[in-house]
Structure 1
Amino acid sequence: MTEVSVRPGSPPAAKSAGRALLLACGAGFIAFLDLSVVNIAFPAIARTYPGTAATTLTWVVSGYAVAFAAFLTPAGRFADALGRVRMFLLALAGFALTSLLCGLAPTAGWLIAGRLLQGVTAALMVPAALGLVLSVTPREKIGAAIGAWSAAGGFAAVVGPALGGGLVEAFGWRAVFFINVPVALALIVATARLALPDTRTPGRALPDPIGTAAVALGLAAVVAGVTEGQRWGWTAPATLACLLLGGLLLLGALIRSRTHHNPAIAVDLWRSRPYALANAGSFVFGAAMFAWLLAGPLFLDAIWGYSVLASAGALTIGAVAAMVTATIAGRLTTAPARRWAGVLGAALFFATLAWMSTGTFGPDPALWSAWMPAGLLGGGGLGLVVTVLGTAAASSLPPQQFAAGIGMNLTARQVGGALGVALLAAIFAAHPDQPLTAFHTLFAVCAGITVLAAVVLAIPAHAGSPEE
């Protein structure tokens, strides 16, 4: 496979860009699907391993999320150094193998180990895929590509519960993992047949191994502490140790990256005001977004008594709205237009959360009068914000650092999301016998977080530019 470097002015073929986008959407779909699809299979998994403590089994769910968030940043650096097609193919093969390991797991320990490794391979796959897309996509069409990819990820999050429920009911929980194998193999075959250029940065060596290990372990420790803090206790030694150790490792990696000739963290990217703002927005909005996405199916189940399939149908409303607005936002060609579209999206999301914190969303189901309009507003706002932030980050990156920059941007969103999920757990723990009050409180707090995200989105990307 030929290795080439892509220059900013190189006119890539439209056919290659379209095919690369389809592959990236497929990879993003299965990677984000596995963040949610296992939730519905968890009760069946627990019955398979009755001798394993429930607190240990929760790592079947959280282990994937922790590993995924931890390795996104170093994964981008590896893709830029080794070649994005090569990394994409290796990651797809790894994802298929680790999914097979999860499906065949004879014990809970094997299953947890498989989920951790599956999260690592998913993290290696996503930045490589997006970096490949951006390297063969004209600058003026990057927004459209990010919009399509965001829509695929959003669709995966919504269909996860329904798909998982159907597979578990028909074939058992192991099918949730086995289904990934043929999909990953199909993507490998399609990628190999397309013979896309293996874009990489000429002469770039692998990133600093010590710094890379510190970044991965630091992010893993922080996300683990935030994710499990409510269960362990926020002042428990395990929680404090994770947060302190993770913070120290990340600080050490950052200091080391400032002077290392091939740093683990591309600190030079953070000197770009547009990129820094995009990451800040992704972090803040990620907290409200992940909490809302998780609260939706919980609300439908606990308060309105919906079945899994009925919940999936209701959640589809927001997913479709997000896909539509993501596509629209991707077609915006100027920075001011994208910026104000992002602010509009945050305003729509805020209005949805504020409305859901009121008595309109009470104990009696109100699908048509409440849930549908809220889903349209919230999903539409989410699609605008996610696409605008992703486009802003991608547009500010030099071509030779596409994968590294995208990896860090996704890390910011995932870490913010982990904080949002921890916030949800803390609020519910404070209202153990009042679930409706807990939901209303959560929605109100997330509305406040969305206001902060709107402020970040409204800041001009280039200081002193009135047109911005």
Structure 2
Amino acid sequence: MTASVPDRPRNRAVVLTACGGTFLAMLDSTVTNLAVPDLQRAFPDSTVPDLSWVVSGYAILFAALLAPAGRLADALGRRRLFATGVAIFTVSSLVCALAPVLPVLVAARFVQGAGAAAMIPAALAILLLDGPEGNRAGSIALWSTAGAAAAAFGPSVGGVLVGQFGWPSVFLINVPLGIAVLVAVRRVLPPTPAAEGARVPDPLGTVLLALGVGGLTVAVTQGPAWGWVDVRTVVAAVVGALSLVVSVLRSRRHEVPAVDTALWSNRTFAATNVVSLFYGMAQFAWMLGSVLYLTEVWDYTELEAGLANTPGAFFAAVAALGLARIAARIGGPRGATLIGLGAFTACGLWFSVGLIDHAAFLAFWLPASFLAGGGMGAATMGTSSAAAMSAPPTKFAGSSGLNTTARQFGGALGIAIMAAVLALTTGPDGVRDVDAYRTMFIYCTAMMAIALTVAAIWLRFPAPAPTPAPVAAQNTEASPAQR
């Protein structure tokens, strides 16, 4: 017992380092939401679909590379992959802040997403293998809570930074934070050699996976501008779909696949990822659409919109942490997922029928933030825990990576569809009124309703396996007899 006491500060440092990297990666999936209006002023010739690539460009590479990144942690070592991801993320953040034109910013966001993809599964592997022993469920809960809180706090942080310092500040803030995480990696995390016989995941399958995600998102994003039957839209959609199909088929036969298709035979894991896909389509579109609604309909400044989103972020963090503590008493990850999606859907229904065209923070936005923010925190924690706990211990990082891929892929498609919906509902004078945003929130609500239905019908999380504590106790009792 006493031998473990000196390890407590180290364990806390390991948890903070791994969760810090996760927080940074997930924060940048939403922190740019509040920068879109300022970007529109900085690049006035850009359309909403063009600007949406600042958000979805990050999500595309993030989603595409998460799946093989879990295997790279074995091939390269989890500490090395984590440090490499943080370094790429930090340098590309600086490039984003200094970008002189929109194409440079979008390209840097793609690279930033690749760095984030390396950080997420490596962070979970570090928590499970280098963190506190015997607290695997708690580590997964902390990891998923860090991600949920970061995604929820993104608009708030972005609003304050953009309002005070302009859009480059949402990227500059990553530089000192990234350096701090890198320093912690060197001081806290032990070197981890690559697993014996480990190989890099199928390079061609990985490229095809990224091409598939990117092609489908290009088709959905540019469809309204190019035309849905335009040859560019059709080619992007066909190439994207075929690339995904070929990547999955290669993964079924390849010795070191880009995607671990064996996990999909687990019904709970498969249902969790379907839920995460539709949840991501609603969540990311909702958060970006909410910012545009506040600034365009309520005439909020970016700073005011960011502050208005702060209560929702707080409720998300509280819900994720609170439900993680009582998950066993409410049906485990399934119960947390149903509660979260139910609250989020209720808020969507409210917005679909009761959206207003004037500012009413206390009467309208604050209670809505409680439902939406709390729902997001609970749903993110529930789906992340369900994905990890439905897989064997040796595949925790890979299963969580695939689950995050599903949510991020859904987010990229959701933002693209949101941009298309807003483009179709924008008036001839270029103004979007409350009806345009009501249509957008109806779309989000439909995606949430699908996720909730799938979770209620197919997400059946088995009873948790017995903890190793009783076994250890039995061994302790037997030792005197053995002596």
TM-score range, shorter chain: 0.7 to 0.9
| Match of residue 344, structure 1, among 332, 339, 342 | 339
Count of residue correspondences: 449
Deviation at 1:210, TM superposition (A): 1.8
Q: Distance in 1 between matches of 2:44 and 2:337?
A: 47
Identity %, equivalent residues: 39
Deviation at 1:389, TM superposition (A): 0.3
Q: Distance in 2 between matches of 1:111 and 1:78?
A: 27
Instruction: Report the secondary structure of 2:353's partner residue.
Output: coil
Q: 1:86 to 1:392 in 2, by over 3 A?
A: same
**Are residues 1:424 and 2:422 paired?**
no
Q: 1:301 to 1:190 in 2, by over 3 A?
A: same
Deviation at 1:320, TM superposition (A): 0.8
**Are residues 1:130 and 2:124 paired?**
yes
Q: Distance in 2 between matches of 1:162 and 1:338?
A: 32
Q: 1:371 to 1:156 in 2, by over 3 A?
A: closer
Q: 1:403 to 1:337 in 2, by over 3 A?
A: closer
Given that 2:160 and 2:307 are in contact with CA atoms closer than 8 Å, whether structure 1 keeps it comes out as: no
Q: 1:51 to 1:379 in 2, by over 3 A?
A: closer
Amino acid at match of 1:455: T
Comparing 267-276 and 14-23, the one that deviates more = 14-23
Q: Distance in 2 between matches of 1:68 and 1:122?
A: 6
Q: Distance in 2 between matches of 1:280 and 1:451?
A: 13
Q: 1:110 to 1:427 in 2, by over 3 A?
A: closer
| Match of residue 63, structure 1, among 57, 64, 67 | 57
Amino acid at match of 1:181: V
Q: 1:462 to 1:228 in 2, by over 3 A?
A: same
Given that 1:40 and 1:165 are in contact with CA atoms closer than 8 Å, whether structure 2 keeps it comes out as: yes
Residue in structure 2 matched with residue 205 of structure 1 by the alignment: 199
Given that 1:23 and 1:187 are in contact with CA atoms closer than 8 Å, whether structure 2 keeps it comes out as: yes
Query: TM-score, normalised on structure 1?
Result: 0.86
| Match of residue 138, structure 2, among 137, 141, 145 | 141
Residue in structure 1 matched with residue 3 of structure 2 by the alignment: none
Residue in structure 2 matched with residue 333 of structure 1 by the alignment: 328
Given that 1:32 and 1:153 are in contact with CA atoms closer than 8 Å, whether structure 2 keeps it comes out as: yes
- Unaligned runs of at least 5 residues, structure 1: 1-12
Deviation at 1:70, TM superposition (A): 2.2
Given that 1:29 and 1:156 are in contact with CA atoms closer than 8 Å, whether structure 2 keeps it comes out as: no
Q: 1:66 to 1:236 in 2, by over 3 A?
A: farther
Deviations 1:28-81 (A, max 9, x none): 332233334445445666676788898766644443232222222222221232
Q: Distance in 2 between matches of 1:382 and 1:50?
A: 33
Deviations 1:139-195 (A, max 9, x none): 3324532443234323442324224314534xxx44443332221111011111113
Q: 1:297 to 1:113 in 2, by over 3 A?
A: closer
Residue in structure 2 matched with residue 161 of structure 1 by the alignment: 158
Residue in structure 1 matched with residue 232 of structure 2 by the alignment: 238
Query: TM-score, normalised on structure 2?
Result: 0.84
Residue in structure 2 matched with residue 437 of structure 1 by the alignment: 435
Residue in structure 1 matched with residue 386 of structure 2 by the alignment: 392
Instruction: Report the secondary structure of 2:228's partner residue.
Output: coil
| Match of residue 185, structure 2, among 161, 185, 191 | 191
Report the structure number with the largest CA radius of gyration. 2
Comparing 202-211 and 152-161, the one that deviates more = 152-161
| Match of residue 215, structure 2, among 195, 217, 221 | 221
Comparing 175-184 and 293-302, the one that deviates more = 175-184
Q: 1:398 to 1:163 in 2, by over 3 A?
A: farther
Q: Distance in 2 between matches of 1:133 and 1:463?
A: 23
**Are residues 1:270 and 2:264 paired?**
yes
Q: Distance in 1 between matches of 2:462 and 2:32?
A: 48
Deviation at 1:86, TM superposition (A): 0.8
Q: Distance in 2 between matches of 1:377 and 1:23?
A: 30
| Match of residue 71, structure 2, among 77, 84, 88 | 77
- The 5-angstrom pairing of residues 227-306 of structure 1 reads 227-306=221-300
Q: 1:157 to 1:57 in 2, by over 3 A?
A: closer
Amino acid at match of 2:304: A
Deviation at 1:202, TM superposition (A): 3.9
- Unaligned runs of at least 5 residues, structure 2: 1-6, 464-483
Residue in structure 1 matched with residue 454 of structure 2 by the alignment: 456
Deviation at 1:419, TM superposition (A): 2.6
Q: 1:14 to 1:248 in 2, by over 3 A?
A: farther
